[in-house]
Amino acid sequence: MAISTVTGQFKQMQIDILADDQRVNSGSVHCRIDTDSVTTGDAYRDQHIKSDALLDVMHHPEIDFVASSFNRLHKDHFTVRGLLTIKESSREIDIPVKYLGWNEINGKERIGFESLFAVDRDSFNLTYHPLLERGGMVIGQHIHIEAYFTFLKDNDELPYGRF
């Protein structure tokens, strides 16, 4: 309401990563997010986000991201470029990614990443723009995204390793 930040999360998603430990600029990433799994902790607000005014989960059950390139900026920082699709709008975006590290626990390899970035709502047809009586926006123009991921290697027989 022009004075606070609302946080939420998607509870269900699937991310497939095919990676080569030796060449970070090769491999693939495909992320599918279940739009109906969004939650902010407020049922009324969640229903509004899921309605046709914003995500329209009835007609658009997934948000989709498919990476097209990886660029190492320096040691642990990368840019992942890819096609983000929300509703019927698809846009190429660059996502900054920080590599957090690798370890092995109980015979399972794990790698971790984090990413902080923003997308413009209007670029993805999320154009709900009611104004308050004094002219303030009800919803901000940009959606700020924080993503923290730990991936487990699930198949030692693949040529690259799948996390």
pLDDT at res. 78: 92
| pTM of the complete model beyond 0.75 | yes
pLDDT at res. 107: 84
**What is the DSSP-derived secondary structure letter of residue 129?**
-
pLDDT at res. 62: 97
35 three-state secondary structure? helix
Ordered mean pLDDT values, 10 residues apiece, the chain (163 residues): 80 84 68 96 94 95 94 92 96 95 86 93 83 61 91 61 41
124 three-state secondary structure? helix
Of 48, 65, 66, nearest to 57 by C-alpha is: 48
